[in-house]
Amino acid sequence: MKEKLLGMTLEELKQAAVSCGLKGFVGAQLADWLYAKRVTDWDRMVNISKAAKQALSEKYDLGTSKPVGTSVSTDGTKKYLFEVHPAGNNKIIPDAITEKKRAQNQPGNSLVENEIVGEMTGNQPDVKFERRSVSGPSVENIKKTVTEDCSTVQDGCRMGDRIDEQGKPEYVESVMIPEEDRKTLCVSSQAGCKMGCKFCMTGRHGFHGQLQAADILNQFLSIDEAQDLTNTVFMGMGEPLDNYDAVSRAIEVLTAPWGFAWSPKRITVSTIGVLPALKKYLDGQRCHLAVSLHNPFPEERLQMMPAQKAWDIREILDLIRQYDFSGQRRVSFEYTMFKGFNDDKRHADALIRLLRGLECRVNLIRFHKIPDFPYDCATDAAMEAFRDRLNNHQVLCTIRSSRGEDILAACGMLAGQHSSSD
């Protein structure tokens, strides 16, 4: 398979040109066409000679591909479906859940109380909320296991990856959200997701491989609004910080003067709180951060978000408090509201205590009903009361507008599947 030019840095594009017997400046021309001009066709690169394009195309692929499906919402939101061939999507390397279960049989592991029955198995995590006390690994051992899940362990893949032996394609979705003065792209970073959040369709479909930087950037270049995009949020399919190398490379292309030349202020990366990569992100990037919080009580957060066991929200906040968010870089906390579960005064007051003194914003998100899930969205009155209580206690809080629900493009609904309107 040819190497993709999309996702390469300026220096790498120059090296690619030289490797084809061309001058290095051809690489700079490639960067201008791909990134600045958003051109995805060799024939339109008019200042590169036909012979040079022939030499390059014999060794390299541009790395762009058109979406295979499009859905348009009544509110103007547009969802795009892309076919990808992620790193590892057939043979499964044991994931963190498998390793955790294996560790339960090892001596020296302590009692873990109130473990959720039915964690992610295969492609369909259980959504039951029964609880029991089990003999299993200590929280520290689980944290170590899941942290190792983020490191390379076999042939450049990660634990939980599927090795691509048959070239079976996967599908990812991105969502273009139009507003009066901007067009925001909600971009995917993985095919599926390992985190297994009970209320998220992506997590319920399991993990199917890491996207390359080219796969991420192609979502920007190959949509109808490529020339008009103003902002992006890494809030589509997958956990961005579980694919940090590809995400950080995509951000480099988006923000570099030889790339899209976007300000970091136009980019927000969302995370469940993958602590090892979160520190890298906070140290190495100037983009905004959004943290999926959803419940201020750790034991309740664990019921909805298995990753709480590995990365406790209190430890995540301890890290975030070490950084300055009083200037141009902002941190926000995403809080999906479930009726009768996390929408009352007790939860609002606990959230106020948890975030006290931190320069931040809380975004309240309407839950969009998915099959076989026991909760409904909180009422409008409950959401407004929750918002007002936070604002009255100096925690900035807003209710996020819901977009694209009719085409399954709203928060938590992306699953990488064709819809009836495709």
Catalytic residue among 99, 170, 173, 239: 173
Is 420 within a domain?
A: no
Is 106 within a domain?
A: no
Answer yes or no: are the C-beta atoms of 303 and 337 closer than 8 Å.
no
37 plus 12 within the same structural domain: yes
Q: Which residues of the chain have pLDDT under 70?
A: 87-167, 413, 416-422
47 plus 161 within the same structural domain: no
Token pair of 239 as six digits: 């956990």
CATH of the domain at 39: 1.10.150.530
Query: Nearest 5 degrees, angle CA 148-CA 153-CA 155?
Result: 155
263 plus 311 within the same structural domain: yes
166 plus 46 within the same structural domain: no
Is 81 within a domain?
A: yes
pLDDT of residue 99: 42
Catalytic residue among 150, 200, 377, 411: 411
Is 137 within a domain?
A: no
161 plus 54 within the same structural domain: no
Question: In angstroms, how far is CA 212 from the centroid of its own chain?
Answer: 13
* Residues ≥6 apart with Cβ < 8 Å to 374: 127, 129
193 plus 236 within the same structural domain: yes
From the number of C-beta atoms within 10 Å of its C-beta (0-12, 13-18, 19+), residue 228 rates as: exposed
Is 132 within a domain?
A: no
247 plus 368 within the same structural domain: yes
Max Cα–Cα distance, the chain, nearest Å = 69
83 plus 33 within the same structural domain: no
pLDDT of residue 135: 32
49 plus 81 within the same structural domain: no
Is 130 within a domain?
A: no
Residue 411 designated active-site: yes
270 plus 400 within the same structural domain: yes
Answer yes or no: are the C-beta atoms of 188 and 219 closer than 8 Å.
yes
pLDDT of residue 406: 78
Is 248 within a domain?
A: yes
Residue 336's domain comprises 69-91+156-407
Question: In angstroms, how far is CA 407 from the centroid of its own chain?
Answer: 20
Is 150 within a domain?
A: no
pLDDT of residue 411: 80
Residue 397 designated active-site: no
pLDDT of residue 417: 65
pTM of the model: 0.82
Question: How many domains does the chain fold into?
Answer: 2
* Residues ≥6 apart with Cβ < 8 Å to 8: 16
CA distances from 202 to 92, 190, 208, 226, 410 (A): 18, 10, 11, 25, 12
Alpha-carbon torsion 267, 273, 274, 279, what sign?
positive
12 plus 82 within the same structural domain: no
CATH of the domain at 234: 3.20.20.70
337 plus 392 within the same structural domain: yes
Instruction: Give 43-60 pLDDT, tens digit per residue.
Output: 999 999 999 999 999 999
Distance CA 206, CA 415 (A): 10
Strand 183-186 relative to strand 170-178, pairing = antiparallel
